[in-house]
Structure 1
Amino acid sequence: MRNITSPAQQISLFRSRIQSRSFDDTTVGILESILVSKNVESLNRVRSALKQLLKDESLVIIREIHEESVEIKLLCTDFLVHLFALIGDFESCLALRYEALIMREQNTTPNPKLRVSYKEWLNFAEHSLENGFYSIANKACEKALMCSETNHMANPETDEFLEDVIIKRIKRLKDAALLSISSKSVQAQAAAYMKQKEVERSTQFTNLVETKSFGSSLFRNGIKKNNLRRLHDHQRL
């Protein structure tokens, strides 16, 4: 491979690899080389460009593999998840991970190997909570609880103490997610309330200024009329 030093050239090469669907270690290595040895400002610009590029291409890829087997879909999704994680687009990364888990869950009956464990849902819930996606974390916790119950029914000999510890851990995480959702809602309501109060204060101030202005005008007009009346009285005398 020829030596490419310019960020623009590196990004162009990365784009061509993605567009040719070269989902391999070489493509990952190119991306990693783009993300090193940059100052903060330059790195932010590069990351922003890569995020947009990868988002656009991932939509095309997902449409292309719509009719492919579940295995191929999962391979492509996992590769995109890895790339999104490298460039720091955790929202897209988590979104694709969620889609992959749901895809596996929906195809468990024909292929039991795709079964999603409660540990996978729990791990996903923790990552979602850490990155501020509280609603998704809550849903993942619900999935984890369902998987745990299903696992216990299928394997009644499972250690009850260990099962109880796992369920308590999932429920604690779920409570944390719900608390964060509630807190976020309260913050949004408080922000809306403060904004409304600000608008009201601004309106009151405007009305007050207008009222004062109107009062001052009346006062000045009264003085003028009084002076004119005194002038006319003086002229008559």
Structure 2
Amino acid sequence: MSHSVDEQLSLFRYLIQTRSFNEATLRFLDSLLVSKDVKSLIETRSSLKQLLKSESLSIIHSIAAESIHDKLVVLDFFVHAFALVGDLESCLALRYEALVMRDLKSASFQLLQVSPLEWLNFVEDAVNNGFHSVAVKACENALWCIGNNDVQKLGRDMFPENSKTTIISEITRLRNLALTSVSSCSVQVQATEYLERKTREQQKLDLPFKEKRCPASTSFRNGIKKQNMRKLHERQSHMQVNGALPERHPNLRWVGLGGTQRLKR
């Protein structure tokens, strides 16, 4: 990574640490992603993802005691920042956190109420990007939101009555789709764990068998050697009887090696 890019990353980190959560900072972030070659773009994008993850955790933790407005401003900034660098998981996670935060505070601040359409948009993004567990939770919140009487107080323009049935039907469809995907993943995980467990068990069963095979093969080889030695001795005895074998020198003896013989002093 070039020195100029390092300086730009340091400047972006400085803007975050000084809480410059505005459009100008997002435009500067977008400019960092303009690269002439693919390799530089990949390196820069990876560095920005790590930087954003580290700084977002630190900043969000530091504003725990601040107002709901300030928290939502920070979350909204990081949602857009993660979207720019292509970190969809972090982007959706912070979007969900912001929606839940608004939902919890809506009893005191009615304007923070999350509309069913907002939940529906989030669910669609979560399902389309493969985050099915989060989508299921969002669907439950959306369906609760539709049945909540406080939502009706927000006015017909925000939640038209004629679209209620359509929204409920679509959210239900997406929830069923997400549930099916979650169940499928769970089954796949269980199947993988079962196969791994059976493999380990089979390996344990095969181990004693392998251990038994080694002594058996050794015994077989020893038996061959004994058989060869016996045949050698029989041949020597036969040759001595027939006078074909000369008398041994007192300082020499016969040594059998795998069916062969040699003299050794």
Q: Same fold (TM over 0.5)?
A: yes
What residue number does 2:65 align with? 67
Q: Give the structure with the larger helix fraction.
A: 1
Identity of aligned residues (%): 50
Q: Give yes or no for contact 1:77–1:100 (8 Å, CA) kept in 2.
A: yes
Worse-superposed segment, 222-231 or 157-166:
157-166
- What secondary structure does 1:6 align onto? helix
Do the aligned residues in 2 keep the contact of 1:54 with 1:84 (CA within 8 Å)? yes
1:205 CA drift (Å): 6.3
Structure 2 match to 1:225: 226
**One-letter amino acid matched to 1:139:** K
Listed as ranges, the gaps of 5+ residues in structure 1 are: none
What does residue 176 of structure 2 align with? 175
Q: Which has the larger radius of gyration?
A: 2
Is it true that 1:133 corresponds to 2:131 in the alignment? yes
Structure 1 residue 141, shift from structure 2 partner? 0.5
**Partner amino acid, structure 2, of 1:145:** L
TM-score under structure 2 length normalisation: 0.78
Contact 1:10 1:30 in 2 (8 A): no
Q: Does 1:162 align with 2:163?
A: yes
Measure the CA separation in 2 of the matches of 1:90 and 1:223.
69
Alignment match, 2:79 = 81
Q: 1:129 & 1:174 partners in 2: Cα distance?
A: 9
Asked whether the equivalents of residues 115 and 151 of structure 2 are also in contact (C-alpha less than 8 Å), the reply is: no
Determine the C-alpha separation between the residues in 2 that align with 1:30 and 1:152.
Answer: 40
State the Cα deviation string for residues 42-80 of structure 1 (Å, max 9, x = none).
222222211111111111211221111111111111011
Unpaired segments ≥5 residues, structure 2? 242-265
The 8 Å contact of residues 76 and 95 in structure 2, kept in 1 or not, is answered as yes
> Which moved further from structure 2: 37-46 or 209-218?
209-218
User: For 1:17, what is the secondary structure of its paired residue?
Assistant: helix
The alignment yields a C-alpha RMSD, in angstroms, of 2.8
Matches within 5 A, 1:92-103: 92-103=90-101
